[in-house]
A and B are shown apart, each in its own frame.
Chain A
Amino acid sequence: MGAQHESSVGIRLREVVKHFGRVGAVNGVSLELARGQLLALLGPSGCGKTTTLRLIAGFERVDAGTIEIGGQVVAGPRIHLPPEKRRVGMVFQEYALFPHMTVAENVRFGLQNYAGDPGRRVAEVLEMVGMQGLDARMPHELSGGQQQRVALARALAPEPDLILLDEPFSNLDAGLRVRVRSEVRAILRRANATAIFVTHDQEEALSLVDQVAVLIDGRVRQVAPPQQLYRQPADRAVAEFMGDANFTPGVATGRRVECELGVLETQTDISGPVDVLIRPENLIIAPAGADSPTRVRNILFFGHDQLVTIELPSGRRLDARMGPAYHYAIGQPVQARVDGPVMAYARES
């Protein structure tokens, strides 16, 4: 990533706290995103992602901490800039298109103080999202994917400093979702927008953005580019949340860890009793003679891949992911090894 210049910071959250009654929805979230970048706010449901988004948009007031957008403090102790003054565009989960206005009127709604020609801007953003010619339609005459694009066009039209998208693809069916997702990314790139997505879908987060922030229990556990996040999760909770994870106990010294699968190389320096993270796709198995104590215990065949559960001599079960061509039988003796350096986390006593 490299060091960011102060002026290029799109948004910065410092120790933001929000309580509802006695429940802490957001417990000190800090984040920073460079201008023109896309960030996904990822976490299980109820982790505070949507609240964080609403705090940024100004629909909720922060209890503590500050939020800066484009260098201006918009929320903090004794400061609450109302939503209409924040220059933050929002795409809602249910799109929230005004049902009594046409597509063009919806998009034009945010252009009341627009410096240029609002009519031209409406045409421009509608073309950007591929909705030209549909400007006279009413929202209920549009498909889900089209509504999604109008919502995006409406948010982009006033050229906000920041775009927020709250679970924007969750209302689309699976087939449409993949297509709309890459379209939306292309549109945001073209508009050079700074954007934050909220999602609980890891695949969506990993495939869409430059940075992923994992939010668990109202705290940001890790902010990293997708690849790094998957390969080097900061802690066990993040590793378990991001994809399938096997854990096996071991003892680490420096860059080596000894566990039931032998001595493995670790990605980071660590010592003492640890839990070793082994992704199913990094667990390689091969058929072995009848004397091998490791056995296949279960097979889940998905088509494009399969998940084979093996049982180690200790009784510990691990999942291995492999292509559909391999054929194993339940009870078959196998041998297992681990591909590449692993992550290890100090065991909590």
Chain B
Amino acid sequence: MAFPGTNRLNRPHNPPHDPPGSPGRRDDDVTRWARTGVSGPRFLLHALAGLIAAAMLLPLVYLIFRALGVGTEAFDLLFRPSTARIMANSVLLTLLVTFFSLLISLPLAWLTTRTDLPARRLWSVLTALPLVFPSYVGGYALVAMMGPRGMLQGWLEPLGIQRLPSIYGLTGAVWALTLFTYPYLLLSIRAGLRNMDPALEEAARNLGHGPWPTFRRVTLPALRPSMVAGSLLVALYVLSDFGAVSILRFNSFTRAIYIQYLSSFDRSYAALLSLVLVAITILILFAAQRAQGRQRHFYRTSVGAARVMPMAKLGRMKWPALVFSGLVVTAALILPLSVVIYWLIRGLMAGESLLPAWMATINSLRAAALAAMAAILLALPVSYLAVRFPSRYSTLVSQSVYLAYGLPGVVIALSLVFFGANYAPFLYQTLAMLIFAYVVRFLPQATGNVRTSLLQISPRLEEAARSLGASRSRTLGRITLPLLRPGILSGAALVFLATMKELPATLLLGPTGFTTLATQIWSATAEAFFARAAAPALILLAVSALSIGIILGHEEGGA
């Protein structure tokens, strides 16, 4: 492919004397190319990014196609009583978890940022830590503690108690999801409190309001955007979560879809349910984005120098505050962790082999490494296009890549199962297909990091290299890529860690006999082999802690 312009220098050329229209059509085309500035490499980049975007859209597009194929029967299926029940279950679960999360997070956020709570810094770390529990690990810990054949029952049996109240269903799901997702809301409110202009509260006090009216009439309204944004985050998580609801056997959308897929001969119903879930998810995503946009408005009231926030003196209220924080940390962190360790020790003493855990770890590592590499390779052209050649087209490409981020994992997996079984049987249940599913799910994490890094590299640096005689490829190899390394590394790390934790796609798309840490925990819990799930759970907790460390580190660095 020729670069328009460059190869023409050798020709005799005399522009001012060319009568208009004398060059052939070919030349006219080249002129137009030169004018619009589209050159060979640039065209290639646009095409490549477009292809990637199309691939990322495949699961959603195929799902819609598949659901449309159902025809008029769709209405009968959709208005079935069972659909209404699933919908009600999901909505109820989402509302309850969000409500309880708010109830926990608001006081905790205030206590850990704006008061003289003893050991405040320690509490602020401890209360955010439950984030390290992938929902199915949390669900596993709960079942292994309170469920039939669980820890508690094992202890109570000698006392003659044969049955505990069931942990399965709504109660368990709300309990597990609340304790392991409230930190999203907590972090959001904390950010809101930190970014709030202290002058607002001082002004209220100065205008004659006491501490409580000031909190109610100034602080709380100023926090509303971050509460809304955080709540939406929690709601989104609950709605798309597969691990906890499936382990705790609560029939919300994701579990219903999975069961339909497993048991029913006709998979159209599963496709329809998926589409409804996608629609609800997109609605919430949309709301979240708007809330976040408004949030920014609220924060930047003053650009003045940051001041130290005034700290409230708790006085005698210190004790109930400590008890409350202690209870939350015990329930969400210490108990589940102890349960996992208890089962690990019990398993080891009973001679449980660590070999399956070892094999699962190897599988997880291999899949995660492949997914991370693939994601970075695809993230580079997409991010470069978005940052260096912003246009309506590049925005569309970026949005297509981000869209999959909002899709529940079980939906992506199911769509790819259908697609693979019907159109690509040679790929179906291969590692390649699984890696593709991972990339669809986690590419946005890679593009996010690469993009941020790229934004920090001034285009002037690339231009400087060109003006010093470096070709496009030398500029890429010597300037752009070396400077991009931090973004590439952290993007790869995030995809790697997210893949390690992934459950639904692995469950649905993994090659036969391909167990990872996540699927091992899931199936062992389902069969009440709690000891077998303990080692993988601990490994995953470590992985999860690492990835959250990276994310929080980024946020600190970026602020």
Contact = CB atoms under 8 A, between A and B. Distances in A.
Interface of A: 14, 57-61, 63, 66, 73, 76-90, 92-94, 96, 98-100, 109-110, 112-113, 154-155, 158
Given A78-B23, A82-B471, A85-B6, 15 more contacts: A58-B466, A59-B466, A61-B35, A73-B13, A77-B15, A77-B31, A78-B8, A79-B5, A84-B468, A87-B469, A88-B467, A98-B461, A109-B468, A154-B464, A158-B469
Contacts of B23: 78
B9 interface: yes
A81 B6 contact: yes
Contact of B464 (A63, A73, A98): A98
Interface in B471-519: 471, 474, 478-479, 482-483
Contacts of A66: 15-16
A210 B271 CA distance: 75
B211 interface: no
Contacts of B16: 14, 66
B468 A94 contact: no
A81 B34 CA distance: 11
B15 A78 contact: yes
Contacts of B545: none
A61 B471 CA distance: 17
A83 B467 contact: yes
Nearest to B35: A63
Interface residues of B, number: 34
Q: Which 9 residue pairs across A and B have the least CB separation, nearest first? A: A110-B468, A80-B5, A83-B466, A96-B460, A96-B464, A90-B467, A76-B15, A92-B460, A84-B469
A90 B462 CA distance: 12
B399 to A, nearest CB: 23
A213 B513 CA distance: 76
A85 B461 CA distance: 17
B463 interface: yes
22 contacts: A60-B37, A61-B35, A73-B13, A73-B15, A76-B15, A77-B18, A78-B5, A78-B23, A80-B5, A82-B466, A83-B466, A85-B469, A86-B467, A89-B467, A92-B463, A96-B463, A98-B483, A109-B465, A109-B468, A110-B469, A110-B470, A112-B470
B469 A112 contact: yes
A122 B471 CA distance: 21
Query: Do most interface residues of chain A lie in helix, strand or loop, or is the interface mixed?
Result: loop
Contacts of B470: 84, 109-110, 112
Nearest to B31: A78
B420 interface: no
B460 A100 contact: no
Contacts of B466: 58-59, 82-84
Query: Do most interface residues of chain B lie in helix, strand or loop, or is the interface mixed?
Result: helix
A83 B463 contact: yes
Given A77-B31, A86-B467, A100 B483 contact: yes
B157 interface: no
Contacts of A158: 468-469
A93 B463 CA distance: 12
B461 A96 contact: yes
A14 B461 CA distance: 29
Contacts of A109: 465, 468, 470, 478
Contacts of B4: 80
B3 interface: yes
Nearest to A15: B16
Contacts of B483: 98-100
A266 to B, nearest CB: 38
B30 interface: yes
Contact of B458 (A63, A96, A110): A96
B9 A79 contact: yes
A14 B8 CA distance: 20
B352 interface: no
Given A79-B5, A84-B466, A92-B464, A98 B31 contact: no
Contact of B467 (A63, A76, A79, A84): A84
Give the most central of A80, A86, A89, A92: most B CB within 10 Å: A80
Contacts of A87: 469
A94 B464 CA distance: 11
Contacts of B482: 100
B9 A61 contact: no
B21 to A, nearest CB: 13
Contact of B468 (A63, A73, A154): A154
B27 interface: yes
A133 B3 CA distance: 42
A79 B8 contact: yes
Contacts of A80: 4-6, 34
A158 B470 CA distance: 12
A223 B295 CA distance: 52
A228 B468 CA distance: 36
Contact of B463 (A59, A76, A110): A59
A300 B120 CA distance: 57
B70 to A, nearest CB: 46
A82 B9 CA distance: 11
A345 B541 CA distance: 81
A5 B79 CA distance: 88
A95 to B, nearest CB: 8
Nearest to A109: B468
Contacts of A57: 463, 467
A58 B465 CA distance: 12
B536 to A, nearest CB: 40
B240 to A, nearest CB: 40
Contacts of B37: 60-61
B375 to A, nearest CB: 24
B463 A90 contact: yes
Contacts of A88: 467
Contacts of A100: 482-483
A92 B9 CA distance: 28
A66 B460 CA distance: 24
Give the most central of A63, A81, A89, A98: most B CB within 10 Å: A98
Contacts of A81: 5-6, 9
Contacts of A110: 468-470
Nearest to A76: B15
Contacts of A77: 15, 18, 31
A56 B426 CA distance: 55
Contacts of A60: 37
A89 B478 CA distance: 19
A245 to B, nearest CB: 35
Contacts of A94: 458, 460
Interface in B1-60: 3-6, 8-9, 13, 15-16, 18, 23, 27, 30-31, 34-35, 37
A138 B321 CA distance: 51
Interface string B435-475: 00000000000000000000000101101111111110010
Contacts of A83: 463, 466-467
Nearest to B28: A78
Contacts of B463: 57, 59, 83, 90, 92, 96
Contact of A78 (B27, B461, B479): B27
A193 to B, nearest CB: 14
Contacts of A86: 467
Given A77-B15, A96-B461, A82 B3 contact: yes
A162 to B, nearest CB: 10
Nearest to B5: A80
